Structures are given as C-alpha cells and as structure tokens.
A and B are shown apart, each in its own frame.
Chain A
C-alpha cells in the first residue's frame, strides 16, 4: 500500500495527490490495527506484568483486555456513527478532490470494528486459559533477533 504512494510520488503529480496519499496511509494503518494488535506491536508497559506470578498476570491481562474491549467498542461505535453522519449530511472533502468524505472515513469505521473483534477474540483466548497471541508473537520475534519493529 505504501508502494503506491511512492509510485505516485515519482510519477506525474496531479493536484489531489496529497489528499489521496494521506487518506491512503490512514486507511492502511486503520486496516492494519487489528493485525498489529495481535502481532504485539501496540506498546504497553509490561514492567508489572512481568514481575508478578502467572496467576496474577492472567487476572491483569483479563482486566486490560476488558478495558481495551470497552474502549475500542466505544471507538468503533462512534467511528461508525460519525461516518454515517458524514454520509447523511452529504459532507464533501475540502481541497482539490471533492470526494464524499465518508468514503475514506469508512476505512476507519471498518478498521475499528476489526480491532474490536480482535480484542474480544484475545479476551476469549485468555478467559479460556490460553496465552494472549500478542505476548507470544513478541517473544518469538525477539527470539529471532528481529528488532526492526521497535523504534
């Protein structure tokens, strides 16, 4: 997805490229939210988690996932509502490309739902006694010496 923005960059520059690139990057990151979450890329402070017993850790993980699920559920609700309003009000993008704004916004509405599903999925995994995917993924990645994802 990023590749396209590069191609545009090198090709003929039309007026609305900036808006399109911005929407495109945003859309890519919105869609990737669930994937990045599962993959353990979302940063958190693991100091306490790593120093407590596995039992306490599980309780904490459940609490975090529950809080996360509520927060992201709220986000998903408003993302969809706002996008729906944009469509209802017939709001059009300002700038050079008069595109109905709900079209790019829909990427976020959808991405936030995917993230919500991913968090609920993790919550279920942990409630069933499993280890969260994002913890396992980070451990595996670091065991391979891959630190490219850490800024």
Chain B
C-alpha cells in the first residue's frame, strides 16, 4: 500500500513538473500559431484526464480493500486444543479461523493402512509421514477440497472420510482416493506444545 502511494505521489510530481515546464515552454512560443495551441490544449486535456483517472483508481482502493480480512480477524490466528481426553480411534472437531479442524487419534491399524500404500495409486501422491507430526495424531482441515463441504468421519470406501456433497472418498490419512475432489485434505500449521496440547495456527 505504501509503495502504491509512493508511486502515486511520484507520478503526480512528475506530471506536475512536466506540465509546468511545458506550460512555460508553450506560453513562450509564438502564441498565434494554431498548431502549438492545439498541442498545448491536447496536452492539458490528456494530463487532466490521466490525473483524474489515477485519482479515481486511488479512491476505489479503500472501497475494495475494506472487504479484505480486517486487523482483528488477521490477529486471531491460533487456537489451543486440549487432546488428553480423546480416546483411541476417536476424533474431535474444533473451530479454527471459522473452519472445522479434525483431530483424530488413529489406531495402529489405521496408521499401518495409511502407511502401506503405493504412492502411485494415489490421485494426489503424498506420504503419510509428511502429513502427520506424530503418527498417532492426524490434524487436518475438515474442508473437502472439492467445493468446501465438511466430510463425514469413519465413512466411505477407504474407512477414512466421505464427503456427502459430491461423493469424495478420503483414506485414513485424509488423502483423496475416489471422487471429484482434486487434492488431499489440507494440513493446517500446528505444533505440539506438550503431550496434551496442540496449538493450531
């Protein structure tokens, strides 16, 4: 933003300097010559139009930018979650930045299933190790990568998640296996503060 203002100011100053110089130049020229008169007029009009257009564009920016996330929204970046109460094979859903986050404590069976798979079979190849910090804990955004519905847990052909909107099937690592969704369920930025607490964001 500052850069754009700087640019705007520079443009204005350059334009003014240019205008002023040509004004002096033109007014010292032979005034009765029709041709130079036309030039000056053309220049004046062009300069006015240009500067006016720049101003309108600059005025439009606040009207556009006001719809971007405001300062208080941007500041709300982290959520801490107590995971000590989650039992093996169960998951909880928490809200982070207005979106559901799935936190699942996976069973050994699920972990093995997620790890023993040929990457070439996957639509969006990604190793399970790259999707978790501790194999037991799977943390991901509960937002279907197709059109943003919330998938249902423990459902679908791959015992992972199933999106009821358009039938996307995810496996026990949240990877897309079947259906229209293009990519795996997204992993948010998170960290383990201690064994019982995750900080998302």
Q: Do A and B bind each other?
A: no
Which residues on B are within 8 Å of A, measured CB to CB? none
A residues sitting closer than 8 Å to B (CB atoms) are none
